[in-house]
Amino acid sequence: MKQVHQLYKEVWWGKERSLEDTINCVQGSQICIGILDDNDHLIGFTRVISDFIYKAIIFDVIVSKAHRGNGLGQKLMNLVKGHKELRKVKHFELYLLT
């Protein structure tokens, strides 16, 4: 969980999250997907809440600063859409902060 928390610290909207908040947030999500590098360090993460039929809301798509621009965000989205529990979902929504 510490690696997830570290990723949150790399984005402007997640810098204030405590480790405890990160743990609660992740535990409250139904699906969490991470991407590891060759050294088993977490370099990408997203989480999803869904009814598994009509809607899936994607939250917190994060790619580590050192790995941005290499298509990992798109890979996370493909992993979400291809996830076995989400295959029947008709609509995906990406929660976006601006």
Rounded Cα distance, 98 and 86, in Å: 26
Residue-averaged pLDDT of the chain: 95
pTM (two decimals): 0.91
Question: Given a cut of 70, is residue 98 above it in pLDDT?
Answer: no
Topology of domain 2-94, per CATH? Answer: Aminopeptidase (3.40.630)
Residues 49-59 as b/e (b if ≥16 CB within 10 A, e otherwise) read: ebeeeeebbbb
* Predicted local confidence at residue 45, as pLDDT: 98
CA distances from 69 to 4, 32, 48, 62, 75 (A): 19, 22, 23, 12, 12
User: Per residue in 1-24, pLDDT tens?
Assistant: 999 999 999 999 999 999 999 999
- For 42-90, the pLDDT digits (tens) are 999 999 999 999 999 999 999 999 999 999 999 999 999 999 999 999 9
